[in-house]
Structure 1
C-alpha cells in the first residue's frame, strides 16, 4: 500500500513537473487584446476611425504592400513592383494562389476593383485624397496590376500600405462593415456590439500560418477598468494602455511586460479657421504661446509624450523640433491679442471628445487661457459618433482636441475641405513639391518646409506626439513596440509558456 501510494505520488509530481516545464502543457493558442475604442464598423476602406484598422489591418485584411514595425514598405499581396523613371507608372506583380476568406480568388481583377473603388467620384474612402494621383488602373493579366498616375506622388507606395488601401472582395462589399472578408491570416467570427470582436485562424491563408488560433479584441474605454482587466487576466494585453499614471503599478509586477514605444499620432487642438476670431493668425499664435506644452504632457500623460511644434512626429524622417517658434510666453501672447483687436480677450467653446487625454488637456488649457483673458467653455462630445458628425463632417465647432493617428498625415492641412477649414497656398505648394520629389533628399526638404509653415501659421495648437504605452502578459510575444501605423498586428504573436 505504501509502495503504491509512493508510486502514485511520484507519478503525479513528475506529471506536474512536466506541465510546469511546458513539456506536456501546450502553449495557449488564443489571446485577448484590450482596446480603448470600439470601431464603428470593420471596413477600413469606408470609414475614418483608426480603431477599425487596429482590429483588422494585417490580421484580416491585406494590401498590395504593407508597412512593417519600423515604418518600412514591405511586400504583401504584391511580391514585387517597379516604378518608371518619370514616377508615373507603377507595375505590381501579384502573388498566385491567394484566396479571400469566402473562397473567391484574389487577382489583378479584384485589385483593380479595389483601387477604382477608392478613387471613384462617389468614394467614401476616408483617405481618398492620398490616392488622387492615380489616373487609371489596368489589369493586363491576372498576375499584373498597372497604375498610371496623372502626376508624380512620391509617397504613394507608402500610402498603399495603409488600412485604407486593403484589398476587398467585390461580392462582400455590402456587408463589409459588419462581416469583413479579406485575404489575411485571420477571418471574422463574431462581433458582440459593445463588448468584443472575435477572429479565428484562416485555414486557406496563402502565407505562413499564425501561431494563434483565436483573437478576441475586447473594448474597455475606462482606463481604470483597463488596469483591472490586465491585473485580473481579463485581457492579455493592452497595446495602447490608456492610463499613464497607472503604468508604475505594472513595472515591478511579476508576469507583465511594460513596453514604451513611439507612434505617429500627433495630439493637436484644431481651430475652425472660418470662425472670425480664429481666422486671424495673431490670435492663433497667441493661444499657442499661452500654453506650456511640457506641462500638458506631464499633467495629462504622466510625462509620456514629446512636445511638438508642428504636425509631425519625432518618429518621422525629416522631423524638426519647432517648439521654439512660438514658445510659452503669456506676456507676448497678451500683446498679440491686443494687436489683433482683443485687448480684453474673448470667449469660445472647446468641443472635446470624451477621451481621457483630450479632457485632461482641455482643462489645463482652459486654465492657461484664463491667464491671458481668454475664456474657453468645455463641451463634451461623445466619441466617435457625435464628434465625427459635429466636428469632422459638419465643422460645427470653434476648437477641439484630438489625436491624429494616421501616419505621416501632415498633408491634411492641404485637404479642401477638411475640418480645420484651413487654406494656405504656400503650404499647398510645399505638399505639391513633396509629391513631385525625385529623390529622398528632395522629399525630406519638402517635409521640413511644410513643418516650418505650420509652426508659424498654427492652424492648430500643436501639443505633443503620443507614446505607445504597451502592457501585456510576459508570456505573450511578438507584439509591436512601436506603431508607425495604428494597428494591433497579431500575425507573429505567440505564447512562450
Structure 2
C-alpha cells in the first residue's frame, strides 16, 4: 500500500476506535459490515443492509431459517415450538415456547408480544414491510402461549413471512409502547445478543443475552464497527483489529484475497439482486421511448464481466434468480446503441438527454454506476451523478430526486415479496404505504394482488408471469445481476455452522459462535 493511502487508512482506523474498556477475560468479536452508520434497529423498519445484520442478532421470529441457510426448506421452530394449519390453509395456530426472556428487564415473552408484533408489522405507519402482512384478517391470543392467525385467503408463503426476517421479527410490546419513536435506537428482542450502546459513525455494542433460551452465547461482546472505507477495513482485518468483515464484491478482489493468509472467504446466498429503476415520474423518463432507449444503451454483460461469475451472475427478470415465480420467458432487453439513439430521436431528443442520479459511494454501487454512466454516454444520454455516502443515498432516493436508482435487495425467495415491494403502486416512494417502488411502476397491480390470493400454484405462477411481462413491456426497471454476499473471517472465528446462506445478508452470530483470544 502506498504510504499516503496507508496513512489515510490508519487515520480512519483511529477515527473509529473506541475505548477499550472491555474486560481482558471477555470474549469479544470485532466485526464490520462496511457501512458508515446504522439507520434504525427497529426490526419492522430496518431495511438497510447494515441494520439488517444487527437485527438478525437481536431478534427472533416465530420460526427461523436454520443458521447458515437461506433455503425455505430449512425453516425450523424459533419462538414457536410447533404450529398447525387448517385444511383450507387460512388459519394458522402457533404454540409458543415458555420461559423465553426479553433483553434487560422487559420481562417474559408471551402471546401478547406476538399479536402486537404482527399487528405492528402489518401497519404501514409503523412498518416498512406492511404489504407482506396484508393478508392477515385476524390475530387472536388463545392463551398466554397460543396465537391464532386467520388469513383473508390461503397464503403459501405465510410461514416465510413469520420467519426471523423483516416484519416477522418479534419485539417486546411493553418496550415498543413505552419507548415509542425511541425504540429504533433502544431495541428489545429475545435474540442471542442485546443492544448496549450506539456511538454515531463509530460502533454498535451488543452483549450476550444471559437468559437466551438456546443457552448463553459463547461470545460475551459483539462490537460492530463502522468502517466504510474498504482499505481501512482491510487494514483493520489484516492487523487483527477485526475478526469478521464485509469484503469487496468483485471477482478480482475475491481471487486475490483467497491467496492471503488468514483470509477465509465466505460467498453466500441470497444475492442482493441489482436492478436499475427508471423513475417514470420525472420527465423525460415518463416517455416509454426514452425508457426503451436507456434499456438498449445498458450492456449488462459488461457489468457481469466486471463483478465476476462467482460474485454476480446475470439476472433475467425483475424477479431475482432462483425465486419461486421467476420467469425468464418474457424476454430481455437487447444492447443496441443504434436503436437507443433512434428511440431518443423519435422521442424528440436528437441531441440526447441529461438524467440526474443519486449514487452511493460504497464499492457495491459506485463502480457499477460509473460503468453505466459511460455506457449511456455512448447513446447520447448524460448521467449526472451526485455521489454521496450511503445513508444520504438511502434518504435521497426516497424523495424523487433521482431519475435512475441503482438498488440491490434480498427478500424472502418468492416472487410476491419482490413484486409487492418494488412494483406495486402501494409501494411507490412518497406514499404513506411506501416501500421501495422507485420507478413509480403501477402496471401490474391486478396480477400481483391476484397471485397473492390464488390458492392454485399453477395459476399463481401464471399471474406472476403476466406481472413480469407487463413490467418488462413498460420498462419500469432493468434487471442487472445477483450480487452475492462476500464476507471474510479470520482463523480465530468459528461460526458454529456451515455458512451457505443468510437472509439478513451477514453471517449469523449465534450462541454457538466462538472467537479465539488474540
Which residue matches 1:236?
Answer: 243
Structure 1 range deviating more: 308-317 or 294-303: 294-303
The separation in 2 between residues aligned to 1:324 and 1:150, in whole angstroms, is 34
SS in structure 1 opposite 2:29? strand
Q: Which moved more, 1:335-344 or 1:440-449?
A: 440-449
C-alpha deviations, 1:61-80, integer Å up to 9, x for none?
11112233132232211112
Match for residue 223 of structure 1 among 227, 230, 234? 230
| Matched residue, 2:407 | 402
Instruction: Quote the residue 1:34 is aligned against.
Output: 32
Shift of 1:349: 0.9
Residue in structure 2 matched with residue 5 of structure 1 by the alignment: none
Map 1:411-422; keep pairs closer than 5 Å.
411-412=420-421, 413-419=423-429, 420-422=438-440
The alignment partner of 1:259 has SS state of strand
Q: For 1:69-84, what aligned pairs fall within 5 Å after superposition?
A: 69-72=69-72, 73-84=75-86
On the 8 A contact 1:45/1:125 being kept in 2, the answer is yes
Structure 2 equivalent of residue 186 of structure 1 = 193
Q: Could you tell me how far apart the structure 1 residues matched to 2:379 and 2:310 are?
A: 25
Of the three residues 108, 117, 121, the one matched with 1:118 is 121
Determine the structure 2 residue equivalent to 1:212: 219
CA distance in 2, matches of 1:446, 1:157: 21
Question: What residue number does 1:460 align with?
Answer: 477
Q: Secondary structure at the match of 2:365?
A: helix
Task: Tell me the residue number matched to 1:13.
Answer: none
In the aligned structure 2, how far is the partner of 1:398 from the partner of 1:219?
29
Q: SS at the partner of 1:114?
A: helix
8 Å CA contact retained: 2:88, 2:154: yes
Secondary structure of the residue aligned to 2:440 is coil
Check if 1:130 corresponds to 2:132: yes
1:374-453 matches, cutoff 5 A: 374-384=381-391, 386-392=392-398, 394-408=399-413, 409-412=418-421, 413-419=423-429, 420-425=438-443, 427-453=444-470
C-alpha change, 1:185 and 1:303, in structure 2 (3 Å) is: closer
For residues 383-440 of structure 1, give each alpha carbon's deviation from its aligned partner in whole angstroms, at most 9, with x where no partner exists: 21x3333321x22321222222344423220142413253434x22332233123255
CA distance in 1, matches of 2:318, 2:27: 40
Is the partner of 1:85 in helix, strand or coil?
coil
Post-superposition CA distance 1:308-330 (Å, at most 9, x none): 23223324234445796212121
Cα distance change of structure 1 residues 28 and 332 upon mapping to structure 2, 3 Å threshold: farther
Counterparts of 1:100-115 in structure 2 under 5 Å?
100-103=102-105, 104-115=107-118
Q: Does residue 373 in structure 1 map to residue 380 in structure 2?
A: yes
1:46 aligns with 2:72: no
Structure 2 CA distance for partners of 1:193 and 1:50, relative to 1, 3 Å: same
Instruction: Quickly say closer, same or farther: Cα 1:400–1:255, change in 2 above 3 A.
Output: same
Offset, 1:297? 3.1
Q: Does residue 329 of the first structure (1) align with residue 336 of the second (2)?
A: yes
Confirm or deny: 8 A CA contact 2:41 2:184 kept in the other structure: yes
Alignment partner of 1:313 out of 312, 315, 320: 320
Once the two structures are superposed, the pairs formed by residues 237-386 of structure 1 within 5 Å of their partners are 237-241=244-248, 245-299=252-306, 304-321=311-328, 325-384=332-391, 386=392
Contact 2:129–2:166 at 8 Å: present in 1 too? no
With the length of structure 1 as denominator, give the TM-score of the two structures: 0.86
Tell me by how many angstroms 1:245 deviates.
4.0
Measure, in 2, the Cα distance between the counterparts of 1:438 and 1:273: 33
In the superposition, the TM-score normalised over structure 2's length comes to 0.83
* C-alpha distance in 1 between matches for 2:370 and 2:192: 44
Deviations 1:81-104 (A, max 9, x none): 222233322211111111211341
Q: Is the CA contact 2:317–2:332 (under 8 Å) kept in the aligned structure 1?
A: no
Pair 1:87–1:277, CA change in 2 (3 A): farther
Q: Contact conserved, 1:107 with 1:143, CA < 8 A, in 2?
A: yes
Structure index of larger Rg: 1
Alpha-carbon distance in structure 1 between the residues aligned to 2:171 and 2:478: 37
User: What CA distance in whole angstroms lies between the structure 1 residues aligned with 2:207 and 2:215?
Assistant: 15
Partner of residue 488, structure 1: 507
Aligned length: 466
**Cα offset for 1:466?**
0.7
SS of residue paired to 1:177: helix
Distance in 2 of aligned mates of 1:306 and 1:323: 19
Which of 143, 146, 149 matches 1:144?
Answer: 146
